[in-house]
């Protein structure tokens, strides 16, 4: 190939230093390669030419052949506008320009056939077209063009500096002329023939200059498949390399702790999903490689018992285990639950958080290092350098998206050899997203709830139904149940949120007066000790109502609480609503979730509230959330840069994603190092991508 695609964009005909700076700063285009990967947003059908007398009063984009027969300048409030009279054999219209008047007057030839293209306006009985694309009919007919015209991404700054879509198309044409339209093939012959894909040259040409709809569709498929294929290849390779290079501790046996617990102390029968997941973990721990597994399960699906049984496997093999949770409340709750189970087996277990005293810390540090302490639960206090294990064999991380990758690697360094890692999340991640973001982790899913759990009844009520809702709360409290009332918390407007919460609290106190009713309140401005005191009153059933902001989103376990009321539910995201709903329904009684909202709802809010009332399946909810918010938001800030895709869309193209993962896996299973001659192209492309990170900078 004569032209190197890494050539800086400045050297392309028609670009020059000024345009090059703009393309770099506005669209991130540095090289020929970046330009070829600037894919169009949409396409216009340029096969049809309109007559002036058949124009409609809509804002469609049209193409007309005619002549400019004269110009006039019109003074307006700021500056002047240039108006050209344009006619064809059926009538006249106006062309309007607000800038570049002198240049236009000098360049446009009067009474010469031109093709104009743009949006038509209707004003005072005349059609006009502001800033039309205009070119001589003779040139229009010679250009390298297709019936479908590509419209490229642009910015206000580019338009203001005169880099119109027509200029972008011209630059793209120059690139194809310069490279003679020859681009290196990036997929193997086997893949191309099995999937009947277009070759790279043909796909690139037809994405920029499509000959017809069918070729455009096939080009899109080919380029989307390739993009997703290399992301999956990278993730699966990372996992394979990880397994071959990073040796884990093989846990040879399932021993006394595990068996005794399973036979004598299991508080309830495991579901089939739990059994399946424990088998998957057992298989990982027994192999020679370090386990790197993501455990997904919905709120209340019983992940904790699976985590505990995995810890018992570590203990059976003479190792220590730890569990790290994002908040103190959550780690205390894990500790209380696991402490009860550990006591039956005489296992030593401890908790370490920010509020542990110096003497407690000293004791924990000592017993960790000499191996007496078998299980340690805690917040990221576990990551402090002072915390040293004698032999940490398994680290469990709860609510992964709150811990960055850097924090995970700190846990690894607690040992000569890295411990096995199990990451748990109660926010189910849609399959497509999990395959793209956690593709290098093995994924286990608990997709059934323990027996005896009743589905939570979820309803949406408007503010005008408030009296009925209050009556319902009274009835539930009469039956001895407890109620959560949650207010939204949106960072920017803390004052407003605090006011909402306080107004709400005051009106609830009026509706539920002392001494008959006791009410707890918990919000972010309280001291941790006060929060803890209020929480404990609610846990002990000394208060019937807990008024709170979303601090209770993760992990308060009160089986007696049967009603969750979410105020201004339209201000919450779907995953938050789902998490909050999971705070009730933990006992044997029927539980309820009531979503309160105002009458004015945006389309997205309607979809969210309808989804909540329709399903309680976290995976289904996560799919809807992904559609509404896009991948970046769902993963939280530190992970949002992951999927900066050029052409594929992991929501709309999930079938292509699954297919690309299937083929990437199949190729690597047969040829893990891509050494076979038929995979030569794939290996070469993979190396190129690793070398020029700027092209594929979206693989985190």
Distance from C-alpha of 34 to C-alpha of 696, rounded to nearest angstrom: 10
Q: CA-CA distance, 28 to 22, in Å (whole number)?
A: 9
CA distance 33 to 8: 9
Contact (Cβ atoms closer than 8 angstroms) between residue 486 and residue 576: no
pLDDT at 676: 96
Q: Measuring CA to CA, which residue among 356, 396, 352, 389 is closest to residue 372?
A: 389
> SS3 for 206-254, per residue?
HHHCCCCHHHHHHHHHHHHHHHHHHHHHHHHHHHHHHHHHCECCCCCCC
CB 668 within 8 A of CB 233: yes
DSSP 37-54: T---SEEEE-S--B-GGG
Token pair 């990170």 is found at: 693
Q: What angle in degrees, to the nearest 10, is found between the helix axes of 654-670 and 213-245?
A: 50
Type and span of the H or E element at 335: helix 328-343
pLDDT of amino acid 640: 36
Tell me the DSSP string of 6-25.
TSBGGGSTTTHHHHHHHHHH
Question: What confidence score (pLDDT) does residue 123 get?
Answer: 83
Bridge partners, residue 297, by sequence: 446
Instruction: Count the alpha carbons within 13 Å of 65 in the hemisphere toward its beta carbon.
Output: 12
- CA dihedral angle for residue 625, residue 631, residue 636, residue 639, rounded to 10 degrees: 160
The percent of residues in the chain predicted with pLDDT above 90, rounded, is 53
Tokens (6 digits) for 638: 């530190």
Q: Alpha-carbon distance 596 to 486, whole Å?
A: 10
Provide the residue ranges of all domains of the chain, joining segments of one domain with +: 47-144, 256-286+301-425, 457-615
For the chain, 700 residues long, the average pLDDT of each consecutive 10-residue run is: 78 94 94 94 83 83 93 88 95 92 91 93 89 90 72 90 91 94 94 97 94 89 95 87 81 93 91 95 91 85 92 96 87 90 96 92 95 94 89 86 61 76 82 74 84 86 94 96 86 61 89 93 82 88 89 67 94 87 85 94 94 89 83 46 72 87 94 95 91 44
Looking at residue 552, its pLDDT comes to: 61
CA dist list (Å): 1 to 7, 203, 470: 13, 17, 75
- Name which of 94, 91, 73 is nearest 82 in CA terms: 73
| Partner residues linked to 548 by β-bridges | 486, 522
* Burial grade of 48 (CB within 10 A; 0-12, 13-18, 19 or more): exposed
Residue 373 tokens, joined: 């302490």
Is the pTM above the cut of 0.75? no
Report whether CATH 2.30.110.10 matches the domain 457-615.
no
Phi, psi of 555 (to 5 degrees): 80, 35
Count of positions (residues) in the chain: 700
Question: What 3-state class would DSSP assign to 560?
Answer: coil
Region for 456 from its dihedrals, namely left if φ exceeds 0, alpha if ψ lies in -120 to 50, beta otherwise: beta
| 256-286+301-425 matches 47-144 in CATH topology | no
Distance CA 245, CA 6 (A): 33
Two tokens at 699?
């693989």
Return the structure tokens found at 553: 């989103």
DSSP 271: P
Reduce the DSSP state of residue 104 to 3 states and report it.
helix
Nearest-angstrom CA–CA distance, 386 and 366:
10
Taking Cα atoms as reference points, which of 557, 582, 619, 574 lies closest to residue 456?
582
Question: What residues pair up with 494 in beta bridges, in sequence order?
Answer: none
* 662 DSSP β-pair partners: none
Contact assessment for residue 332 and residue 453, using Cβ atoms and an 8 Å cutoff: no
Q: What is the pLDDT of residue 4?
A: 83
Alpha-carbon gap, residue 27 to 658, rounded angstroms: 30
Spatial CA neighbour of 391 closest among 411, 418, 366, 415: 415
Extended strands (E) in 463-555: 482-486, 519-522, 545-548
Residue pair 545/512 in contact (Cβ under 8 Å)? The answer is: yes
The bridge status of strand 91-97 relative to strand 80-88 is antiparallel
Instruction: Output the CA–CA distances (angstroms, integers) from residue 412 to 57, 285, 324, 409, 419, in the order listed.
Output: 67, 16, 13, 5, 6
Burial (CB < 10 A; 0-12, 13-18, 19+), residue 523, is buried
Indicate the CATH number for domain 47-144. 2.40.50.140
Cα atoms in the Cβ-side hemisphere of radius 13 Å centred on 244: 7
- 256-286+301-425 fold: Rossmann fold (3.40.50)
Task: Give 687's contacts (C-beta < 8 A, 6+ positions apart).
Answer: none
Q: Quick: pLDDT tens for 373-413.
A: 999 999 888 888 889 999 999 999 987 555 555 666 677 67
């Amino acid at each position: 190939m004569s032209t190197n695609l890494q050539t800086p964009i400045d050297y392309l005909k028609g670009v020059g230093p000024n345009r090059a700076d703009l393309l770099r700063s506005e669209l991130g285009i540095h090289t020929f390669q970046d330009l070829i990967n600037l894919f169009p947003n949409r396409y216009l059908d340029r096969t049809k030419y309109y007559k002036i007398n058949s124009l409609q009063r809509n804002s469609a984009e049209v193409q007309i052949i005619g002549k400019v027969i004269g110009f006039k300048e019109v003074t307006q409030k700021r500056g002047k506008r240039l108006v050209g009279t344009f006619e064809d054999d059926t009538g006249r219209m106006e062309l309007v320009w607000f800038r570049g008047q002198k240049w236009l007057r000098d360049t446009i030839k009067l009474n010469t056939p031109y093709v104009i293209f743009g949006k038509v306006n209707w004003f005072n009985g005349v059609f006009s077209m502001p800033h039309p694309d205009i070119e001589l009919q003779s040139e229009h007919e010679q250009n390298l063009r297709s019936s479908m015209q590509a419209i490229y991404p642009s910015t206000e700054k580019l338009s203001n500096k005169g880099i119109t879509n027509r200029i972008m198309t011209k630059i793209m044409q120059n690139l194809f002329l310069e490279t003679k339209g020859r681009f290196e093939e990036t997929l193997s012959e086997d893949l191309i023939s099995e999937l009947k894909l277009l070759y790279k040259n043909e796909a690139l040409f037809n994405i920029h200059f499509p000959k017809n709809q069918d070729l455009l569709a096939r080009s899109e498929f080919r380029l989307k498949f390739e993009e997703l294929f290399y992301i999956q290849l990278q993730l699966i390779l990372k996992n394979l390399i990880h397994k071959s290079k990073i040796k884990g501790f093989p846990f040879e046996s399932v021993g006394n702790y595990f068996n005794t617990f399973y036979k004598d102390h299991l508080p309830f029968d495991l579901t089939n999903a739990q059994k399946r997941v424990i088998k998957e973990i057992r298989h990982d721990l027994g192999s020679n490689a370090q386990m790197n597994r993501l455990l997904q399960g919905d709120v209340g699906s019983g992940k904790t018992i699976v985590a505990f049984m995995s810890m018992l496997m570590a203990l059976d093999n003479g190792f220590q285990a730890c569990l790290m949770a994002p908040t103190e409340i959550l780690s205390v709750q894990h500790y209380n639950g696991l402490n009860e189970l550990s006591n039956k087996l005489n296992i030593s277990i401890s908790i370490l958080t920010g509020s542990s005293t110096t003497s407690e810390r000293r004791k924990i540090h000592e017993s960790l290092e000499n191996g007496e302490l078998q299980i340690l639960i805690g917040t990221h206090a576990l990551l402090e350098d002072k915390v040293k294990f004698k032999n940490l064999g398994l680290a469990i991380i709860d609510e992964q998206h709150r811990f960055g990758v850097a924090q995970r690697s700190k846990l690894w360094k607690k040992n000569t050899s890295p411990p096995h890692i199990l990451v748990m999340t109660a926010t189910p991640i849609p399959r497509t997203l999990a395959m793209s973001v956690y593709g290098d982790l093995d994924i286990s899913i608990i997709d059934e709830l323990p027996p005896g759990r009743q589905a939570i009844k979820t309803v949406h009520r408007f503010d005008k139904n408030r009296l009925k809702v209050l009556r319902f709360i009274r009835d539930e409290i009469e039956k001895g149940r407890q109620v959560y009332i949650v207010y939204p918390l949106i960072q920017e407007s803390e004052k407003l949120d605090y006011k909402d919460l306080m107004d709400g609290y005051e009106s609830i106190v009026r509706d539920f007066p002392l001494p008959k009713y006791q009410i707890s309140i918990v919000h972010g401005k309280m001291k941790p000790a006060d929060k803890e005191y209020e929480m404990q009153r609610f846990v002990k059933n000394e208060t019937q109502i807990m008024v709170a902001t979303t601090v209770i989103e993760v992990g308060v376990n009160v089986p007696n609480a049967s009603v969750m009321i979410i105020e201004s539910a339209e201000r919450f995201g779907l995953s938050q609503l789902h998490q909050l709903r999971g705070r009730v329904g933990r006992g044997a009684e029927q539980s309820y979730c009531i979503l309160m909202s105002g009458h004015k709802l945006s389309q997205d809010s309607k979809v969210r509230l309808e989804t909540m009332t329709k399903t309680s399946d976290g995976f289904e909810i996560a799919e809807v959330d992904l559609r509404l918010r896009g991948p970046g938001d769902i993963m939280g800030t530190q992970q949002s840069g992951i999927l900066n895709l050029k052409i594929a869309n992991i929501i709309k193209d999930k079938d292509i994603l699954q297919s690309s993962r299937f083929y990437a896996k199949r190729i690597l299973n047969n040829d893990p190092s891509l050494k076979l001659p038929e995979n030569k192209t794939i290996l070469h492309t993979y190396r190129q991508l690793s070398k020029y990170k700027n092209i594929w900078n979206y693989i985190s």
